[in-house]
């Protein structure tokens, strides 16, 4: 028992030192200057990922045809982020795949499978850390319900940053760790309030469980309130995550909520709840942004059960194509983004996907191209 405790203490010391170093060097990554060509990497992932991502790539290639021909934009396919390849090399993101990804400026990424148990880290978590994609931005819109929400989820810390590096005392207990840094919290709060100011939003909700997680969530709450003081025109309210989860279901409350800023785990869960109000996780896109890179993806998983049943061709690509809309907005092409968003709406109305409807993922992609 004592030997196991000593190993755990040594392991914790190593983790603590690594996180102190990360906090001290968080702002080292700088964007390159003077790039002549924007490189969009398309990473299919696994499960239904390659199936749905192909349709988003087709839409991007159609919209960006002139820029591609002029050499201003390159769309580059990146293979190798499959679960089989990751398990074979024992890494969440194989080194050669990561090197290819880092040669891109923005990514359109399909879902990836994370094995339950074991020590294999999520590919998403690894990419967010390696590319320092600290802001996970997820919009949800249901105009008829008064819903126009944008969630700013801290993307590199919380329970996820050390999620595969917990401590075990065999036969007795296990412990995982949650990490919150001042710099990490300040930059996600700043991103949320800057978005609110630039987009005419008047309300930001800080969402934590600071009454229980007093150190980590307590500091997250304190830093967010410090940032909020620089935006006096914006009303700020604080909520606990359990209460906010309930508030999303209250029709009278929905129009009052606009922008949310919250730690990693809570953001992961509550944005799926919000997406369900919009029509399901298959209808929502997601942006992961940092100072140098940006990654856009569907918010749902790789649906291995669909693949196992031979139903992959009927996967809904709407979420990943909506992520492509966010990608176009990010690279400064709002008109093309609006065209694609309207084409998605038209396709969703004319081409419902499913065996009963007789429409496949590729049929939906065809409908989007037709609407464009």
* Integer angstrom CA distances of residue 345 from 62, 234, 258, 284, 367: 17, 32, 23, 12, 10
Lowest mean pLDDT among 4-18, 23-37, 316-330: 23-37
C-alpha span between 42 and 58 (Å, rounded)? 11
pLDDT value at position 31?
A: 47
Of 187 and 286, which is predicted with more confidence?
187
Domains with residue ranges and CATH for the chain: 35-133+290-372 (3.40.718.10), 137-152+173-278 (3.40.50.2300)
* 4: Cβ contacts below 8 Å, ≥ 6 apart: 169, 170
The 10s digit of each residue's pLDDT in 256-294 is 999 999 999 999 999 989 988 887 766 667 899 998 899
C-alpha closest to that of 193 among 150, 136, 234: 234
Cβ neighbours of residue 133 closer than 8 Å, sequence gap 6 or more: 127, 155, 156, 288, 289, 290, 293, 294, 295
Tokens representing 325 are: 């809309």
pLDDT, tens digit (0-9, with 9 covering 90-100), for 109-127: 999 988 777 777 889 888 9
Q: What is the dihedral of CA 367, 305, 273, 110, to 10 degrees?
A: -50
pLDDT value for 252: 94
pLDDT in tens, 73-85: 999 999 999 989 9
pLDDT for the residue 35: 63
Q: Is the pLDDT of residue 202 over 70?
A: yes
Mean pLDDT for the chain?
89
CA distance 256 to 13: 44
Span 9-29, average pLDDT = 70
Write out pLDDT tens, residues 127-183: 988 998 999 998 898 889 999 999 999 988 988 777 777 888 888 888 888 989 999
């Amino acid at each position: 028992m004592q030997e196991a405790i000593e190993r755990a203490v040594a392991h914790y010391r190593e983790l603590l030192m690594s996180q102190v170093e990360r906090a001290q060097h968080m702002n080292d990554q700088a964007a390159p200057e003077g790039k002549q060509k924007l490189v969009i990497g398309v990473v299919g992932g696994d499960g239904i990922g390659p199936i749905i991502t192909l349709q988003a790539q087709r839409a991007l290639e159609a919209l960006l045809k002139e820029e591609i021909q002029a050499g201003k934009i390159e769309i580059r396919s990146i293979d190798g982020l499959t679960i089989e390849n990751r398990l074979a090399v024992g890494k969440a993101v194989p080194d050669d795949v990561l090197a290819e990804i880092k040669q891109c400026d923005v990514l359109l990424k399909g879902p990836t499978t994370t094995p339950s148990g074991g020590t294999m880290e999520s590919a998403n978590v690894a990419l967010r850390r390696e590319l320092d994609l600290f802001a996970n931005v997820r919009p949800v819109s249901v105009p008829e319900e008064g819903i126009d929400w944008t969630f700013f989820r801290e993307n590199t810390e919380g329970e996820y940053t050390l999620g595969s590096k917990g401590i075990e005392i065999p036969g007795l207990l296990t412990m995982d760790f949650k990490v919150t840094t001042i710099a990490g919290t300040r930059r996600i709060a700043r991103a949320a309030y800057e978005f609110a100011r630039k987009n005419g939003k008047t309300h930001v909700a800080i969402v934590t469980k600071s009454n229980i997680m007093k150190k980590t969530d307590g500091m997250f709450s304190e830093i967010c309130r410090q940032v909020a003081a620089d935006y006096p025109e914006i009303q700020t309210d604080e909520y606990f995550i359990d209460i906010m989860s309930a508030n999303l279901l209250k029709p009278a409350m929905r129009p009052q909520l606009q922008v949310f800023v919250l730690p990693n785990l809570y953001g992961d869960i509550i944005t799926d709840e919000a997406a369900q109000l919009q029509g399901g996780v298959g209808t929502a896109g997601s942006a992961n942004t940092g100072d140098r890179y940006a990654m856009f993806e569907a918010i749902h998983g790789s649906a291995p059960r669909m693949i196992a049943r031979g139903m992959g061709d009927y996967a809904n690509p709407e979420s990943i194509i909506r992520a492509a809309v966010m990608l176009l907005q990010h690279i400064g092409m709002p008109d093309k983004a609006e065209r694609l968003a309207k084409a998605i709406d038209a396709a969703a109305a004319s081409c419902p996907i499913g065996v009963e409807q007789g429409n496949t993922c590729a049929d939906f992609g065809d409908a989007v191209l037709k609407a464009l």
